[in-house]
Amino acid sequence: MTKFSSQYFDEQQYAQSGIANYELVYGRNFISPGGKETSAQFLRLLGLRSGIKVLDIGCGIGGCVFQIAADYGAYVDGIDISHNMIEIGSQRCKEQGLEDKVKLYQGDCLEREYGTTYDVVHSRDVFLHIHEKPRLFSIIRNVLAPGGLLAFTDYCRGEGPLSTKFDTYVRQREYCLHTVDEYRDLIERAGFVDVKAEDKTGYFLEINRRELNRLAARNLNTEEADDLMRGWRAKILRIQDGEQRWGWFLARNPG
């Protein structure tokens, strides 16, 4: 299995059982911090309008895509490397009757022939999986219309040397994390303008504590739930240590 192939994601972090577990914490259709509520909050920053075209990179099982289409009337294409995600997302899309506004595609965002341009490229907590950031941002500039908006959130890391524990966590997950300032530089170097890079770690901590408390209150008493809670407690400690951080990023394609 090649590192970062669809098989890698489908059989490791985003196996069907893994997706179901993540939904237990994030809520139906979401695999990113804060679920529906945080997604709605982030989307309010984007000035979305009816009829515009949005690309969601790493759309998962479609939570953000459905929200963009249903709440704003935008046309949304979602792409995700995981077959599992697209299979579940396509089913949920049908259930919600959003097929006229939403199209979901399986594929690697770095390899896809997009064949169109978008007014907005949106992504929630996906780029941590992508090691070739200059290539990623260059592809996004090419698919964005002139003046189009790039909007994403992502896991980041703290400044300074990292503890062995944090380094081991990042290596085990094969993540590629940056500090918020490094991310700003990468985005600017790719030629984007009006770059806003905000460290949202305080909010991230609040969200993770809330998610852990909600899960604990359900008293599921299953091995999966216990594993999840262990994972969330470890994440909260990494955040409190200042090593795991969270960034929100907005940038414009010039033109």
Q: Which residue has the tokens 């951080």?
A: 245
Q: Judged by CB, which is closer to ligand SAM: 55, or 161? A: 55
* 77: phi then psi, degrees, rounded to nearest 5: -100, 130
State which of residues 21, 32, 208, 244 lies at the interface with ligand SAM (CB under 6 A).
Answer: 32
Beta carbon of residue 36, minimum distance to ligand SAM (angstroms, whole number): 10
Q: Taking each helix axis from N to C terminus, what angle separates 63-72 and 35-43, rounded to the nearest 10 degrees? A: 50
Site mask for ligand SAM (CB under 6 A), range 171-200, x = bound: ------------------------------
State which of residues 18, 23, 25, 30 lies at the interface with ligand SAM (CB under 6 A).
Answer: 30
Report whether 143 contacts 75 (CB < 8 A).
no
Tell me the residue number closest to ligand SAM, measured at CB.
60
Q: In the 8-state DSSP scheme, what is residue 160?
A: S
Around Cβ 197, how many Cβ atoms within 10 Å? 20
Q: Which of 207, 200, 168, 189 is nearest to 251 (CA)?
A: 189
Does 154 participate in binding ligand SAM (rule CB under 6 A)? no
Interacting stretch for ligand SAM, rule CB under 6 A, among 106-114, 161-169, 186-194, 239-247? 106-114
Does 64 participate in binding ligand SAM (rule CB under 6 A)? yes
Tokens describing residue 60: 């998962």
Does 109 participate in binding ligand SAM (rule CB under 6 A)? yes
Tokens describing residue 90: 């396509």
Residues in touch with ligand SAM (CB under 6 A): 9, 14, 30-32, 58-60, 63-64, 79-82, 85, 108-110, 124-126, 129-130
